[in-house]
Structure 1
Amino acid sequence: MTAKDVRLLDELERTLRQGGLRLAYQPKVDARDGSLVRVEALMRWTHSELGAISPVRFVPLAEKHGLIDDMTQWALRTALRQWREWKSAGLDTSVAVNISAVSLEQLDFPDLVERMCRALDVPTDRLVLELTEGATQPLINLMDTLTRFRIKGVGLALDDFGTGYSGLIQLRKLPFNEIKIDRQFVTELPTSRDDQVIVRSVIELAHGLGLQVTAEGVETVEQLAALRELNCDLIQGYLLAHPLDASELVPWASRHKRRWKLLTRPLQDELQRVGA
């Protein structure tokens, strides 16, 4: 462990103890009508000297040195409390929280999450836990824990689908109800026949297994149009919104309803042109 890592770990522990982390929320919308379906809670850490520090940097440190459980519980409580505030403001959505496979090793973790939801008066079916495909190797050994989440009504999403080598096996064995197509397959989707074949196959496979599909990293109207034509369920990316502060979501939702018509007009015009 380098001196830089030691310092960063000390700073992270202090920041977590003092409430210095925050969550940003990125919307996911229905690809058909643009309605808000879910927001993903994304952990953010802005250091006073080092500036913004990526979760890719600090989450592995937390996993290795015993901070991940406290961090995960903080993220869950914060996101659930925020869901209740949005609900009171008239915005009914669900919230997704990224979970480390390390947290799932705690046998009572499903019960803890259920108690959190009950204490904050949040229905369990309004919560989705997202896990990366890279974590699915150990997840096979945690089948009972994952199944208990599904029994309790908590959704499970497989993030970054397509970046690991064993994704298809995991879809068959693990109780997910959503997969997220990694952005690397979305970037060139409008012009890349290979990506179109891959994404179409993934969507058809997922639907055949009764799974919902979210496309990450959608940044252009051309990508959006291509995903709609391929019957993708949910869309997430900068075209719709950058990660937002909690207070920004309700105003964004109001603006988005008007903007969605503009984003999808090119496809509607093309369908009219060909007489569809």
Structure 2
Amino acid sequence: MSETRLPFLKMNGLGNDFVVLDAREHACPLTHEQIAAIGDRKTGIGFDQMITIEPAKNGANAFMRIHNRDGGEVGACGNATRCIGRLLMAEAGLEHVVIETRAGFLEAFATESPTLVSVDMGKPRLAWDEIPLAEEFADTRAIELQIGPIDDPILHTPSVANMGNPHAIFWVDDIEGYDLERIGPMLENHPMFPERANISLAHVFAPDEIRLKVWERGVGLTLACGTAACAVGVAAARNKLTGRKTTIHLPGGPLIIEWRANDDHVIMTGETTIEFEGLLDLDSLTYEKTAPGDVVAEPVS
């Protein structure tokens, strides 16, 4: 190992996993190619997103920079915000912190459990040019978009929203009834989405209960996507499929989403887990584990 080694944490929010680097004192100048190599699950540490904690700006407790597994930078990640919120609150002995991202300021709040964290994800962006879409739609609760034959489409008429990232939600009766790994890339890169999009399959199976499966842009299939869960909660309420507070069941576990009526902010609550601590060699991009993480993470009841 060389001396150019960076300490890191491996964390996850319901299986949506991250490599976390602290760059508040020393910068972490990694190229997109290096980030992609570190994110490779066969040859690197493996992650959905790399999170860099940078010096605070504009009164925030920290700035959070987010790169997807392909090395591309994105504006927001709800599960990562919960994980970074947990770290910052524990570090400072606070019950509330403000985290700046490219998508704006996000607030994290402590709960009765140190591993269970709530995040104020702000207001959803619902206008067609805020998402953004390539065409104007007056109503984004359901837009004209389909994949497959015109007279028998595989999927059609998604709801769309932006929760720091663009999201398209297809309402289905069975989220496992579609090959999302095959059709996800096509929809992610559809001309309708000039900045690409996260693609979700959602099934309302009980009052205020939704099953969700997500193809995340620049990542692929993921066990959990916080901004997708927020977008789905908002879209379900807008379409009167649920109320304004829902439990979103992802492959990695549940998230509680509340779209508050008094200010239109979306509150997301869920578990966080520290998997292990390690050292990353910047020359070889190899790593070693230096300490274990959480013993258990209690599920959301």
With the length of structure 1 as denominator, give the TM-score of the two structures.
0.29
Question: Going by fraction, where is helix more abundant, 1 or 2?
Answer: 1
Question: Going by fraction, where is strand more abundant, 1 or 2?
Answer: 2
